[in-house]
Amino acid sequence: MTQISTRQWWYLIIAVAVIWFSNLEYRILIKPDEGRYAEIPREMVASGDWTTPRLNDIKYFEKPPLQYWATAVAYEVFGEHQWTSRLWAGLTGFFGIFLVWFAGLRLFGREAAAYAAMILGSSLLYVLIGHINTLDMGVTFFISLGIFSFLIAQGESETKSQRNWMLLAWAGMALAVLSKGLMGIILPGTAIFIYCIAQRDFSVLKRMHWLAGLAVFFLITAPWFYFVMKANPEFFDKFFIYEHYTRFTTKQHGRYQPWYYFIPILLSGMLPWTLLMLDTLWGTWRDNVSLLSKVFNPARFLLIWAVFIYLFFTASGSKLPSYLLPIFPALALLMGKRIADMSVQTLLKQIVPVILFVIAIVVLALNVGKLADTPLQKELYPQYTPWLIVASLVLLAGLLAGLWLLRNERKQVAVATLACSSLLFAQIGLSGYNVLASERSAKHIAAALAPQLKAGVPFYSVLDYEQTLPFYLKRTFTLVQYQDEMDFGLNQEPQRWIPTVEELAPVWAAQAEAYAIFPAYAYPQLQKVGMAMQIIFEDSQHIVVKKYESN
């Protein structure tokens, strides 16, 4: 059976790196997440305050600061660009592939490690989230670093080596906490406890190196929590109570979805390896369900981790597709092990049905215009068709080549071929989304306004907050009759906003100069309260005005 040579592996790594990082700058930022997580670090750089996160100059305590810090450093070094705002997600996603390879090498062998890395780096959801500015890829990387280091530590017989791997595990969990909160320690800790119960083996807890590990954990996490609470006493209630209890147990955040929400997310997100994933889950369960031993079983732990995370977020009152991302590295490891042990004929049967997915994408591409609801969507959506067609043809070509290679007993080359074509498919489809992005981005507004705006003139955001506009204009706004996710910060500093449009009118009248942006439908409402306005920008969604200057 033909194996990939060392030189070919290097060619493959270089090709994947080029494909992976190629479009970080190409796509414009879209709301809400990309605008929010680009703007918070921009304001850190502008203000010099790296302790208290602020969004639109309003205290924002929903998430910890690690990604903000990393992005702010990228801004300081390379400048404030679309690609630097996405760099942390891109880097952690890319190096997550190597993390899975290394863990697979230590746990399951070289061949399984190679397959695991190729699967992770080409799984649809993992690729997409690795190129969108959210916090999920960063926390996935560090939480994976934590659990993989823990798994490797359990197989070490030498005390010093075991301790070092466990200290790295504690550090990974600490950095996961600084990435997205207490899930970085609660989820791995709960999974370990479930494993101990399922395996009826609590000796694992004796190998945690608690004192040294907790010292590392708090050395990394405690300083920021101390300083942010010292500067903001209200932080504790918002971050620890609301963000970690209320959001999980209630529907307050407006992200409630039914129990089956994650089923299509997981099945589509693991493409083109979906059938392999299902086969792996069943096979791992079947091989380990009754296996009790004092020898640590990493495959069983990874299965417990994946199932637990899935059920945990299924039970949550707040659901988003990216919440499943932490299970993908674990699944990739199990799937890599499965492929290594699998016959070519079995793998062939699991890959062939991907052709149906390609056909479905082509059908979607030809009918994407029918999904449009607004006049702007009807104008933009048909422009996405060529991108989807090209992406589908690339995937189909890789799929057919992979099937031919499998029939010729070249399993490793076949998997690499399909993986590369799947990565290209995701990147082409994601890049093509740029033709639709103007509906969810304010870059065109910023480009039109920038030559007209005067520095230091008040700018009001009325009845809405366009998340991407502050980043592109490099300035913040005074909110008017709009709070949403900034309600907590505005309650702490109410002087930073104007509660109603009626209260804006006298403030507007008293200004020598002023600007305002608001939804297009709100123009009559502002006229009604007597605001003298001159339109300086208008599209189907927004109107921007300046104070009318009579001669």
Mean pLDDT of 471-496: 95
If pLDDT is split at 50, 70 and 90, which confidence band does 238 have?
A: confident
Question: Hey, how many other C-beta atoms are within 10 angstroms of the C-beta on 241?
Answer: 11
pLDDT value for 290 = 63
369 pLDDT band, cuts 50/70/90, is confident
The answer as to whether 55 is a domain residue is no
Indicate whether 21 belongs to any domain.
Answer: no
pLDDT exceeds cutoff 80 at 246 = no
- Express each pLDDT in 298-335 by its tens digit: 999 999 999 999 999 998 877 899 999 999 999 999 99
Domain interval for residue 511? 443-547
Kindly state whether residues 167 and 304 are assigned to the same domain. yes
Nearest to 64 by CA among 246, 192, 245, 225: 225
Q: Are residues 120 and 264 in the same domain?
A: yes
Do residues 216 and 337 both lie within one domain? yes
Q: Give yes or no: residues 268 and 142 share one domain.
A: yes
Nearest residue to 89 via CA among 432, 438, 430: 430
SS3 of 498, please?
Answer: strand
What pLDDT does 244 receive?
Answer: 60
Give the residue among 179, 170, 187 at the shortest CA–CA distance from 310: 187
How many other C-beta atoms lie within 10 A of the C-beta of residue 25? 14
Pairing of strands 54-55, 58-59: antiparallel
Q: Has residue 447 got a pLDDT over 90?
A: yes
Q: Which of 342, 366, 401 is the last residue of a domain?
A: 342
**Domain endpoint, select from 313, 342, 371:** 342
Average pLDDT over residues 276-291: 85
Q: Among 342, 359, 382, identify where a domain stops.
A: 342
Whether residue 189 is found in the same domain as residue 300: yes
Average pLDDT over residues 462-479: 97
Asked if residue 393 belongs to a domain, the reply is no
- Does pLDDT of 243 surpass 60? yes
pLDDT digit string (tens) for 139-155? 999 999 999 999 999 99
For the segment 452-466, the average pLDDT, to the nearest whole number, is 95
Is residue 314 in a domain? Answer: yes
Q: Is residue 278 part of a domain?
A: yes
Average pLDDT, the chain: 93
309/196 same-domain check: yes
pLDDT > 60? residue 254:
no
Residues 337 and 462 in one domain: no
Residue 73 reports pLDDT greater than 90:
yes
Looking at the structure of the chain, the number of domains it has is: 2
338 and 449 fall within a common domain: no
Q: What is the rounded CA–CA span in Å between residue 47 and residue 24?
A: 26
The answer to whether residue 109 is domain-embedded is yes
pLDDT score at 291: 62
Question: Which pLDDT band, with edges at 50, 70 and 90, does 248 fall under?
Answer: low
128 shares a domain with 259: yes
- Residue 402 inside a domain? The answer is no
454: its two tokens: 């005067």
Residue 80 belongs to some domain of the structure: no
pLDDT, one tens digit per residue, over 16-55 is 999 999 999 999 999 999 999 999 999 999 999 999 999 9
pLDDT for the residue 252: 56
* Contact indicator for 381, 369 with CB cutoff of 8 Å: yes
At position 34, the amino acid (one-letter code) is E
CB 520 within 8 A of CB 543: yes
**Distance between CA 324 and CA 293 in Å, rounded?**
30
Q: Give me the mean pLDDT over the 375-390 stretch.
A: 92
Residues 457, 314 share a domain? no
**Mean pLDDT of all residues in 199-212:** 92
Residue 240, pLDDT above cutoff 90: no
pLDDT of residue 287: 79
132, burial (CB in 10 Å: exposed 0-12, middle 13-18, buried 19+)? buried
| Whether residues 176 and 293 fall in one domain | yes
Res 36: pLDDT: 97
Cα–Cα dist 6/176, whole Å:
33
Specify the pLDDT at position 250.
Answer: 56
